[in-house]
Amino acid sequence: MPIWEEHVSLRPYNTFGLDVRARYFARFTSVDELRELLARPETQAGPRLILGGGSNLLLTRDFDGVVLKNEIKELTISAENPAAHTARLRAGAGESWHGLVEFALSQELSGLENLSLIPGTVGAAPLQNIGAYGAELRDTFARLEAVEISSGALREFDREACGFGYRESVFKGPLRNQFVVTAVEFDLHRVSAGRPANVGYGALRDTLAELGYSPDAPTPRQVSEAVVRVRRSKLPDPADIGNAGSFFKNPEIPVAQFEELKARFPDLPGYPAPAGRVKVPAGWLIEQAGFKGQRRGAGAGTHGIHARQALVLVNHGGATGAELWALAEEIIRVVGERFGVELRPEVNIL
């Protein structure tokens, strides 16, 4: 029986550490508990917020609705294919993402190691098709289960039905706020199969060498160690300073626009993207616009941009979500004026 609470602070449940309050709050640990909570008149009346790890969320105000925290736990090998040296891993949506990666490695399974140390929960990962260091969730994704909010029906979604794109899925588009993910399954390779590691990202190869591992033939565990080291060197720990990781998506622009910008800014990096476009690092644009390391506010409300990674907005103390969003809007405006490139948030803004 889920416990129903009122006027609950969400400070412990968002990685920015923002002290906003929810009118109603409850946790669920199973599909049945979720259905029970969805059936309540307060939930059906809305608004609703399904909360995982709170690591991809900027809360700019109190939430005058129902917050349901997903705490469904499960980590199992649901199927095995010895001939193909593969296995299907099933995870409850309330499991931590890095906990899932660690479990896969402990079971001698490869495919998730490049996504090590990404904050948040398993259930939130498909919503934005998380990715890092040359890998994306959709590379190993098999299927997910989700409960329809309006009916309580449990539905399955395969890779095609999820409509994955760059930090996108149908759950951020046409099906936004219509389903609650309850379980996700992945098709992974057995380490014994000797599948080549994904180490095309330059910093990974350098870090593997620093750790004393072969950059040409590392194990999945070694790749994970390298990813963890790289992430910790660039991104602040939310336990130490409030943040939601990369705040902006890397924009994809037409080739002609990239070439025009490259002529004006010769150091501008660019990487091939689908549909003949070029992906430009948002962090580079923000840094060149002069924001990296800036601090705003005074005293407990100090906030700003991280000194080592311009993509990361940080709450140094008691800043509000509205103050952080105002800074984000300023960054979007200045980058747009200087480079003619529109930055879009990767985090969800409430």
Could you list the active site residues? 167, 246, 346
Alpha-helix runs per DSSP H in the chain: 31-38, 41-45, 97-106, 159-162, 202-210, 220-234, 255-264, 282-288, 321-339
26 SS3 class:
strand
Counting beta carbons within 10 angstroms of the beta carbon of residue 153, is it exposed (0 to 12), middle (13 to 18) or buried (19 or more)? exposed
Please, which residues bridge with residue 345 across strands?
Answer: 248
Please, which residues bridge with residue 136 across strands?
Answer: 131
Which amino acid belongs to residue 190? R
| 338 φ/ψ angles, rounded to the nearest 5 degrees | -80, -40
Please name the residues in contact with 5: beta carbons below 8 A apart, sequence gap of 6 or more. Answer: 24, 25, 26
Q: How far apart are CA 107 and CA 111, in angstroms?
A: 12
Neighbours of 197 (CB within 10 A): 20
23 SS3 class:
strand
Tell me the two tokens of residue 220: 């999945």
